């Protein structure tokens, strides 16, 4: 795991010193070694920088930037099956000086060009400079586990693993993206490819970006798309056979993520997903696996369950009860770790468990993705039930028009009722193939009509995180919700949360449930294998029961809850007083000051219907103070 950074400057003003300053902001991602390469010619200067967290081949032979022939590479992440690819390349005449996956990626690109990525099993963001063709190639893994930002404006091209690096270049303009801020307010994150800043983009997952330095043009191509697999026919397979195949895929995905020359552990929450990963790995291991849990006794707390499961499986378990003071101490630093606003309160425990794990390991497996792939959230079943009830309503179009008119009479103070009526109306007026997507758009996040009042009039308000293709071709209508959850909150919120939290502690986080082979298979399974109307994540749970008694697992899903809004009304109220004050809001110049101040009053007296808006506004203001002012 590492940090990558680089620049191409056609104005010839950039210096190697600037590149070094950019690179140094990413030292936490790679504290072991920091290096750069610098190229100059009459048309442009170009630099590649790298900060290394040594995982595979910890010798200096694995350092980056790495050069082979006329190719140079910087890579963040891991290609787990590099040994198999290396064997193939050796037969083709390639030779290697290291046991690094980066060297294999570089040779694979030299041999197969951009097609090489189809051979990779892993998580990665890498940039390759082809000095002969005068082209820069940027690539991001299929799911988007590893981040990659780029900036292109007034003759300057920059790229980085984290936005903070751009602030060290004097050509970077810090201008708020007026399309991104409304999206952040609605969802709590900014979806790819947008960024909170103008002229900054996230390279979409599963994409290549090619920068032709001679023509000064950018071109993108997609090499993998999860939607393609939700359009494949549903597999004609028995449940028992599917279980066997799924378990084999899970074992392979987990074993690949144990490839390391440094100690590896697992985040164990006690839920089904992390228990499954832990059980599969411990079964195969001759030594005790290291597992880690953070507990919060003053909130809803799964730590005692995680301890029971660890004892049953036989891991070397470390659990730490987090105090209220420890949790609160993280909040002032969130804007630094999350240098693009990311309003997920669970960033706090994720940082804390990363601190705990780093004391004993350098790599930690996290079990994200199970809910999105196998219908684990309660809301999935609720949405399907809601749609079925709405579809039974007679004269839907007439009633839909009536409800649309009626919703306009509902006062904004009754925002929950107004949102519900507008949502039902929109579904009733939609054609059947679009009804489920319409329901999901209108039920997810805070309503646009409510959020619009917080923003100044010059902000554009298109807040739908939409899918890229027609949804009529999805193999099962119910999979639309899984697909939207995967392409939205998982990629742009949950994976961002884990990447920045682990990397803040120089810890590599790996995601076995997001192996692309497993994702592709799950997309084609009958929906009833995932959610049968009674049991969510059915196939995963039935595999878990082979390793851990059902009596240990069957309990309500509670997660890790922090009473953040209670704190903000009491001993953290000074944060609201400071960052959501009239003076602070006027400095930011993004929000309608009177509306925000009224909302703060509503929060304090307990009449606010959407408390999340307070955290999103507060987090943005803290971020703005850190990175923009």
- Asked if residue 180 has pLDDT above 60, the reply is yes
| Coil vs helix vs strand at 383 | helix
Q: Residue 491 is inside which H or E element, if any?
A: none
What's the distance, CA 231 to chain centroid? 23
Q: Which of 83-92, 263-272, 435-444 has the lowest mean pLDDT?
A: 435-444
Report pLDDT digits (tens) over 394-440: 888 888 887 888 888 787 677 888 888 888 888 888 887 788 888 88
How many CB atoms within 10 Å of residue 553? 18
Return the bridge partners of 455, or none.
Answer: 591
Compute, in degrees rounded to 10, the torsion defined by CA atoms 328, 330, 332, 336: -160
Residues in the chain: 629
> Rounded to two decimals, what is the model's pTM?
0.93
pLDDT at 464: 52
The whole-angstrom separation of Cα 494 and Cα 406 is 37
Query: How far, in Å, are 438, 494, 537, 611 from residue 444 at the CA level?
Result: 10, 16, 21, 15
Average pLDDT, the chain: 92
Report pLDDT digits (tens) over 159-168: 999 999 999 9
Compute, in degrees rounded to 10, the torsion defined by CA atoms 85, 90, 92, 97: 100
The whole-angstrom separation of Cα 552 and Cα 156 is 57
Report pLDDT digits (tens) over 299-334: 667 888 999 999 999 999 999 988 888 889 999 999
The answer to whether residue 342 is catalytic is: no
Closest-CA residue to 305 (of 314, 293, 316): 293
pLDDT at 411: 75
**Structure-token pair, residue 362:** 């350098």
Q: Which of 88-92, 299-303, 487-491 has the lowest mean pLDDT?
A: 299-303
- Residue range(s) of every CATH 3.60.20.10 domain in the chain: 2-224
DSSP 490: I
What CATH number belongs to 2-224?
3.60.20.10
Query: How far, in Å, are 224, 344, 394 from residue 355 at the CA level?
Result: 34, 18, 56
Residue 465: band (very low, low, confident or very high) from pLDDT cuts 50, 70, 90: very low
Closest-CA residue to 143 (of 372, 354, 445, 375): 372
Q: Where are the alpha helices (DSSP H) in 236-346?
A: 239-256, 272-284, 303-313, 324-330, 334-337
Task: Give me the percent of the chain exceeding a pLDDT of 90.
Answer: 75
The whole-angstrom separation of Cα 391 and Cα 384 is 11
Report pLDDT digits (tens) over 569-609: 998 999 999 999 999 999 999 999 999 999 999 999 998 98
Residue 516: band (very low, low, confident or very high) from pLDDT cuts 50, 70, 90: very high
Residues 6+ apart with CB under 8 A from 425: 400, 401, 403, 404, 407
Report pLDDT digits (tens) over 355-379: 999 999 999 999 999 999 999 888 8
String of DSSP letters for 550-603: HHHH-S--------HHHHHHTTTHHHHHHHTSHHHHHHHT-B-HHHHHHHHHHH
Q: Residue 451 is inside which H or E element, if any?
A: helix 448-451
How many CB atoms within 10 Å of residue 188? 21
Report pLDDT digits (tens) over 606-624: 989 889 999 999 999 999 9
| Coil vs helix vs strand at 242 | helix
How many CB atoms within 10 Å of residue 625? 15
Return phi, psi of residue 128, to 5°. Answer: -120, 130
The whole-angstrom separation of Cα 58 and Cα 76 is 15
Closest-CA residue to 344 (of 130, 213, 136, 488): 488
For residues 578 and 584, is the Cβ–Cβ distance under 8 A? yes
Residue 78: band (very low, low, confident or very high) from pLDDT cuts 50, 70, 90: very high
pLDDT at 384: 84
- Asked if residue 463 has pLDDT above 60, the reply is no
The whole-angstrom separation of Cα 235 and Cα 327 is 46
- Residue range(s) of every CATH 3.40.50.620 domain in the chain: 228-375+483-553
CATH architecture of residue range(s) 228-375+483-553? 3-Layer(aba) Sandwich (3.40)
Residue 468: band (very low, low, confident or very high) from pLDDT cuts 50, 70, 90: very low
């Amino acid at each position: 795991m590492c940090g990558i950074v680089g620049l191409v400057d056609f104005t010839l003003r950039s210096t190697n010193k600037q590149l070094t300053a950019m690179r140094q902001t990413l030292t936490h991602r790679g504290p072991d070694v920091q290096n750069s390469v610098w190229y100059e010619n009459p048309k442009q200067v170009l630099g590649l920088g790298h900060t290394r967290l040594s995982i595979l081949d910890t010798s200096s032979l694995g350092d980056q930037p790495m050069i082979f022939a006329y190719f140079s590479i910087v890579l963040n992440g891991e290609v787990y099956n590099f040994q198999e690819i290396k064997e193939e390349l050796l037969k083709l005449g390639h030779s290697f000086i290291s046991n690094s996956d980066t060297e294999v990626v570089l040779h694979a690109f030299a041999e197969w060009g951009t097609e090489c990525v189809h051979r990779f099993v892993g998580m990665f963001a890498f940039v390759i400079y082809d000095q002969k063709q005068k082209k820069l190639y940027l690539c991001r893994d299929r799911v988007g586990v590893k981040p990659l930002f780029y900036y292109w404006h007034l003759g300057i091209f920059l790229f980085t693993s984290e936005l903070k690096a751009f602030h060290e270049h004097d050509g970077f303009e810090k201008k708020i993206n007026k399309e991104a801020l409304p999206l952040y307010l609605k969802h709590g994150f900014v979806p790819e490819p947008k960024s909170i800043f103008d002229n900054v983009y996230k390279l979409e997952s599963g994409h290549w970006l090619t920068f032709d330095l001679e023509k000064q043009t950018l071109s993108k191509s997609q090499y993998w798309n999860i939607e393609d697999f939700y359009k494949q026919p549903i597999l004609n397979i028995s449940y028992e056979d599917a279980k066997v195949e799924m378990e084999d895929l899970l074992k392979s995905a987990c074993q690949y993520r144990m490839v390391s020359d440094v100690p590896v552990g697992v985040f164990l929450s006690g839920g089904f997903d992390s228990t499954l990963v832990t059980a599969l790995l411990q079964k195969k291991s001759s030594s005790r696996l290291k597992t880690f849990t953070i507990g919060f006794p003053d909130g809803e707390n799964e730590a005692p369950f995680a301890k029971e499961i660890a004892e049953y499986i036989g891991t070397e378990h470390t659990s730490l009860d987090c105090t209220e003071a420890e949790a609160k101490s993280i909040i002032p630093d969130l804007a630094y770790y999350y240098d693009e606003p990311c309003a997920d309160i669970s960033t706090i425990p994720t940082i804390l468990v990363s601190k705990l794990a780093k004391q004993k390991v350098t790599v930690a497996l996290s079990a994200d993705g199970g809910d999105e792939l196998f219908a684990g959230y309660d809301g999935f079943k609720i949405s399907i039930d809601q749609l079925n009830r709405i579809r039974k309503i007679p004269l839907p179009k007439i009633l839909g028009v009536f409800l649309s008119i009626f919703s306009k009479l509902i006062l904004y103070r009754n925002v929950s009722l107004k949102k519900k009526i507008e949502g039902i109306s929109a579904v009733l007026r939609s054609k059947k193939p679009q009804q489920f997507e319409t329901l999901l758009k209108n039920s997810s996040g805070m309503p646009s009509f409510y959020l619009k009042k917080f923003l100044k009039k010059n902000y554009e308000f298109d807040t739908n995180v939409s899918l890229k293709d027609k949804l009529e071709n999805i193999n099962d209508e119910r999979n639309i919700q899984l697909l939207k959850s995967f392409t939205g909150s998982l990629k742009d919120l949950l994976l961002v949360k884990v990447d920045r939290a682990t990397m803040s502690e120089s810890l590599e986080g790996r995601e076995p449930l997001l192996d692309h082979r497993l994702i592709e298979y799950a997309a084609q399974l009958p929906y009833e294998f995932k959610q049968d109307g009674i049991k969510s994540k059915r196939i995963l749970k039935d595999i878990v029961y082979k390793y851990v008694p059902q009596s240990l697992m069957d309990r309500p899903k509670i997660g890790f809850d922090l009473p953040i809004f209670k704190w903000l009304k009491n001993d953290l109220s000074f944060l609201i007083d400071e960052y959501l004050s009239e003076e602070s809001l006027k400095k930011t110049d993004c929000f309608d000051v009177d509306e925000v101040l009224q909302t703060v009053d509503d929060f304090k007296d307990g009449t606010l219907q959407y408390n999340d808006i307070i955290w999103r506004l507060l987090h943005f203001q803290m971020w703005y103070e850190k990175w923009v002012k």
